[in-house]
Structure 1
C-alpha cells in the first residue's frame, strides 16, 4: 500500500516537516509520483521505525545518515552496517550500566532517608 506524506505522517507519528527533513538529510528516499508528490510504502514504515529506534538509543544523526547511505548501497555494505550496530550496542550497554549505577545510588539515598524518617517517627 502507498501512503501520501500526510497519511504516512499520521501512521508513524512523525510530522510531515520531519519527514521532509529526513529526506533532505538523505535518511529516507520515498518514491515520487509523476506529479512530484512523495509516496511512502510499507518498507518505509519499518525503515522509519528503525531510524526512530536508533535516535531513541542515542545514535547521532550523523551516524544514522552514514548508516542510511550504506543501506542504500545494498548488500555489499552489510558488514560495515553490522559493525556500526555492534559499536552502537556497546555504547548503549555502557550507558545502561552507568544509568543502573546512578539508579542504585539514588535507591541507596532514598533508603537512607526512609530509615532516618522512620527513626524520627519512632522517637
Structure 2
C-alpha cells in the first residue's frame, strides 16, 4: 500500500522516487514500494519505446523517399546520413526489445501513409509510390 510520503516523493521529485524505489527493490522491501506509481512508470516506458520506434521509422521513411525520388543532389548526403542514423537507432532499439518488431510490423502501414503525406506536402511536384515497394 502506498503511503502519503511515497506519493509526495513521486509527485515532487521523480529522480529521487526512482532511487528510493530501486533501493527498496534491492532490499526486497516490497511492502514499502509505491506499486501504483511503479506500474504507471513501467507502462510509460513501454509506451515511450513504441513512440520512439514510430518516430524513428517515420524519419527513416521520409528520408528514404526523399533520397530515392527527389532530384536534389545537393541534399543527398544529409538525407543519407539521416537514413544511416535512423537505421542504427532502430536496430539498437529492436536489439534491446525484440518484441517491438511486432509493433513495427503492425504500425508500418500507418507510418508509411504518414511519411508519404509528409513528403508529398513538402515536394508536391515529385512523384512518390503509393505502396511500400521493399520488404520489411
TM-score computed with the length of structure 2 as normaliser: 0.32
Structure scoring higher RCO (CA < 8 A, sep ≥ 6) equals 2
**Which structure has the larger Rg?**
1
